[in-house]
């Protein structure tokens, strides 16, 4: 019988990476302060120089909202504390994507 024991594979489409900065898997907790001053601790999933994706549930965030993020990055012998203003880029079932303000944006 033709086709018995054979598997049909779909052609693979390579995804085009549109980000300017590489995302890195993150293992840090992010404190997010939402408008009105309410704070929530969330787990970061991935992190880049300009953005972070965090696991969130029912924070009521909307695209374009501004929030404040606080998190620590362990660099081996040194741990750096970061505090950044960020804008909600997207909200999905799995979490929230945030675009962080850079030092250049903050001082410019």
Secondary structure of the chain in the HEC alphabet?
CCCCCCCCCCCCCCCCCCCCCCCEECCCEEEEECCCCCEEEEEEEEECCCEEEECCCCCCCCCCCEEEEEEEEECCCCEEEEEEEEEEEEECCCCEEEEECCHHHHHC
Tens of pLDDT, residues 18-60:
555 566 677 889 999 988 899 999 999 998 888 999 998 878 8
Residue 14 pLDDT? 52
Residue 64 sits at φ, ψ, to 5 deg, of: 95, -15
Question: Which comes out higher in pLDDT, residue 75 or 39?
Answer: 39
Measure the CA–CA gap between 51 and 70, rounded to whole angstroms: 13
Stated pTM of the model: 0.71
Residue 91 pLDDT? 93
Residue 43 pLDDT? 94
Residue 24 pLDDT? 66
Residue 9 pLDDT? 46
């Amino acid at each position: 019988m033709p086709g018995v024991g054979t598997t049909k594979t779909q052609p693979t489409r390579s995804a085009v990476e549109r980000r300017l900065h590489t995302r890195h898997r993150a293992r840090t907790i992010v404190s997010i302060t939402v408008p009105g001053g309410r704070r929530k601790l969330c787990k970061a999933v991935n992190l880049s120089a300009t953005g972070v994706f965090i696991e969130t549930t029912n924070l009521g965030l909307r695209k374009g909202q501004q929030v404040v993020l606080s998190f620590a990055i362990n660099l081996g012998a040194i741990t750096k504390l970061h505090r950044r203003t960020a804008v909600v880029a997207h909200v999905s079932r799995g979490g929230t994507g945030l675009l962080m303000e850079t030092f250049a944006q903050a001082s410019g």
